[in-house]
Structure 1
Amino acid sequence: MDQENVSATLTLDVPTEKVFAVLADPRTHPAIDGTGWVQEPVDRATLREVGQIFRMDMYHPDAQDGDYQVANKVHVLDPPRAIGWLTGYDPKGDGHLEFGGWFWRYDLVPSGPSGTEVTLTYDWSAVPQSIREYLRFPPFGPEHLTNSLHHLAQLPHRRPEADPSAVRNCWGR
């Protein structure tokens, strides 16, 4: 793949402010993801400022023991228009975070009286060659971003088993 980012766009029948609120709540990220890799947020606070760190428990069968944790750093926060984060980790377990050069970003544009056009971008253009030697980019197929946006669109209609109030409260219902 010559390109170093992938994007997908979907129009949701939900007001922009509510979509942003869901994206700013780490508790909803496992439901949005859809791969089963994103498990549970370690840091459950709403994303409110650039530089904020939020950790997520993850699972991938190719990871040592399958389970691991990422530390995400908010690098874009423009309510209700854009939110994004860099993905990193704590390699020595000493609190010193390293970021690999890839990020996730959601851009939101109002569409009609109560809709939102959402563009999800995954960008790995800043990943150094040393990381590219052992990680493949992107680590998922091209359909993943579109599927993720469809999951985001369905959140007002789902009742997750673990914490049903988390998703419903984000939508204000």
Structure 2
Amino acid sequence: MTSERFEVTRQIAATPSVIFDVLRSPQGHVRIDSSGMLQSAEGAPVGAVGDEFLVHMDREALGDLPMGRYDVTVIITRYERDAVLEWTISGTIQPPTRHLYGYRLEPNESGTAVTSYYDWSEIDDKYREAGIFPVIPEAGLRATLGILARTVE
């Protein structure tokens, strides 16, 4: 693990398929978000690398930057049905920040081990120098996994 990546895992008593259906849904992202930034989403569930959906955000929930409400486009960068979902975003801040979020799902006898990760190792030097990363703390990933568990169990 580098200092520019968080990874947390939680055992969830649900099948990978049930969990993945929440994760690939734009509205599912909003339902399980622990940051308070995701307000609503538009679009169909994703099904392949390159698929996109729109998320209406509110940065005021973090209280760190005065961005207020804005939109981002979620762009799927890895997609393996019931196993891996990864994405980056494009939106108000340009050039795109190139940070990645993702989930890995590993079935086991108790359900599924779900790993959530956040990687900002490829961000533009402009953002690195600004000192605004990581946007989401490691505890935020843990909290989102808790909400995901509550949602599917």
Q: Equivalents in 2 of 1:60, 1:13: separation in Å?
A: 32
- Structure 2 counterpart of 1:104: 101
Matched, 1:87 2:86: no
Matched, 1:49 2:48: yes
The runs of 4+ residues in structure 1 deviating greater than 4 Å are none
Change (3 A) 1:14 1:85: same
Q: Equivalents in 1 of 2:107, 2:95: separation in Å?
A: 35
- Structure 2 counterpart of 1:16: 16
Q: Please tell me whether the aligned partners of residues 5 and 121 of structure 1 are also in contact (alpha carbons under 8 angstroms).
A: yes
Q: Equivalents in 2 of 1:102, 1:25: separation in Å?
A: 20
1:68-126: CA deviation from partner (whole Å, max 9, x where unpaired): 111111011001110010111156xxxxx8531101110000011x6010000000010
Candidates 107, 118, 121, aligned match of 2:117 = 121
Q: Please tell me whether the aligned partners of residues 18 and 152 of structure 2 are also in contact (alpha carbons under 8 angstroms).
A: no
- Residue 100 of structure 2 aligns with an amino acid whose one-letter code is F
TM-score by length of 2: 0.89
Q: Please tell me whether the aligned partners of residues 51 and 76 of structure 2 are also in contact (alpha carbons under 8 angstroms).
A: yes
Q: Equivalents in 1 of 2:152, 2:84: separation in Å?
A: 20
Gaps of 5+ in 2: none
- Residue 69 of structure 1 aligns with an amino acid whose one-letter code is D
RMSD of aligned C-alpha atoms? 1.7
Q: Equivalents in 1 of 2:56, 2:122: separation in Å?
A: 24
Matched, 1:63 2:63: no
Percentage of pairs with the same residue: 27
Q: Which has the larger radius of gyration?
A: 1
Q: Equivalents in 1 of 2:3, 2:92: separation in Å?
A: 28
What SS is found at the alignment partner of 1:131? helix
- Structure 1 counterpart of 2:31: 31
Number of residue equivalences: 148
Q: Equivalents in 2 of 1:90, 1:128: separation in Å?
A: 15
Gaps of 5+ in 1: 92-96, 158-173
TM-score by length of 1: 0.79
Q: Please tell me whether the aligned partners of residues 11 and 111 of structure 1 are also in contact (alpha carbons under 8 angstroms).
A: no
Q: Equivalents in 2 of 1:139, 1:90: separation in Å?
A: 15
- Structure 2 counterpart of 1:74: 76
What SS is found at the alignment partner of 2:97? strand
- Residue 60 of structure 1 aligns with an amino acid whose one-letter code is R
